[in-house]
Amino acid sequence: MDIRKEYSLKAHNTFGIDAQADWFIPYKSIEELQLLARDEYFQECRHLLLGEGSNMLFLTNFHGIVLHSQITTLETYEEDEVHLTLLVGSGVHWDDLVAYTCARGLGGLECLSLIPGQVGAAAVQNIGAYGAEISQRVVSVHTVHRRTGELRHFAPEECDYAYRHSFFKTAEGADYIVTHVLLRLDKQPELQLDYADLKARVAARSAAPSPEDVRQEVIAIRRSKLPDPAELGNAGSFFMNPIVPPARLTELQETYPDIPHYPAPEGQVKLSAGWLIDRCGLKGFVLGHAGVYPRQALVLTNVDGEATGQDIARLAQHVQQQVQECFGIELQPEVRYIS
């Protein structure tokens, strides 16, 4: 195992924050994790699972062990007339998997194209876009317990999936280190196009669209709205879209008749955090080395590559305060703060 001491995480988080980990341990197999689980120091030490760091904000150096999956296997697990089930290593780059499935005409992941990160992290975070969530495709999440080394496979209902949430994001769940994810794809895809803009673009592209057509349009939309982390440090949407009772929407509509809103579970409504931030006049706003992205207000960026985690957190707090003052709504970060 290639264990590193006092290791910079700058290349391992998409904000490009230069935080340091006491220890950085890439793992390549279940056996390596089980070996680590037998080590007393490892058992006691704080730990953090880090994929590509596309949803993390390091506020300080990380005192503990950072675990990074390098399990990059991809194999067919099961196949019948209708479905193909793939067993995918948690270290596979998410978008490589989406490209692989779309190129083979398999349906299910196309709306989730170009989302940064690894497969394991995608299953933990329950990534979503354009009406699709990875949880709709998860058959099971395979894990090793970090202290006992025991293997456990979680069925979707045990993962407790919700909007950008799973059991693995809880304190108890964080002890289960994801090694593989079993995903079910459709061999005769029925394209899910809930998002009007995407639907129109796909229809204009082809009369009989394939998952690959959807993928290409999703890529084009994302590239037009979201900055490439390789060029401008960011973590995609910084906040979650707030979910409010319908009465709250009615109140807001009196002043803002054009406020975007979408149905959410249990009769609630989802508002657009990006729209709320934009309406506070914050698009393009810069505070120190951190800025609100001019083309999509839900994205905070490391404007000159010099931002610290604290700089980004300060800007986030300012945005939260402004949205609270303008709309009386409390925005919750989607990005995880790590200290």
In the complex, the residues that contact ligand EPU under the rule CB under 6 A are 129-130, 225, 236-237, 240-241, 260, 272, 274-275, 278, 283, 296-298, 334
Name the residue nearer to ligand EPU (CB basis): 198 or 307. Answer: 198
Name the residue nearer to ligand EPU (CB basis): 100 or 275. Answer: 275
The rounded distance, in Å, linking the Cα atoms of 254 and 78 is 53
Is 237 annotated in the active site?
Answer: yes
Q: How far is the CB of 20 from ligand EPU (least distance, A)?
A: 25
Name the residue nearer to ligand EPU (CB basis): 62 or 130. Answer: 130
Q: How far is the CB of 44 from ligand EPU (least distance, A)?
A: 34
Name the residue nearer to ligand EPU (CB basis): 208 or 257. Answer: 257
Name the residue nearer to ligand EPU (CB basis): 217 or 334. Answer: 334
Q: How far is the CB of 298 from ligand EPU (least distance, A)?
A: 4
Residue nearest to ligand EPU (CB): 236
| Secondary structure element (H or E) that encloses residue 290, with its range | strand 290-292
Q: Are 44 and 4 in contact (CB under 8 A)?
A: no
What DSSP letter does each residue of 267-288 carry, written as one string? G-EEE-HHHHHHHTT-TT-EET
Q: How far is the CB of 30 from ligand EPU (least distance, A)?
A: 29
The rounded distance, in Å, linking the Cα atoms of 105 and 100 is 9
Among 164, 205, 222, 248, the one annotated catalytic: 164
Q: How far is the CB of 273 from ligand EPU (least distance, A)?
A: 6
The rounded distance, in Å, linking the Cα atoms of 104 and 101 is 5
| Secondary structure element (H or E) that encloses residue 237, with its range | strand 233-237
Is 248 annotated in the active site?
Answer: no
The rounded distance, in Å, linking the Cα atoms of 86 and 138 is 10
The rounded distance, in Å, linking the Cα atoms of 223 and 211 is 18
Q: Name the DSSP class of 114.
A: T
Is 158 annotated in the active site?
Answer: no
Half-sphere exposure of 159 (CA within 13 A, CB side): 29
The rounded distance, in Å, linking the Cα atoms of 269 and 264 is 5
Residues annotated as catalytic are 164, 237, 334
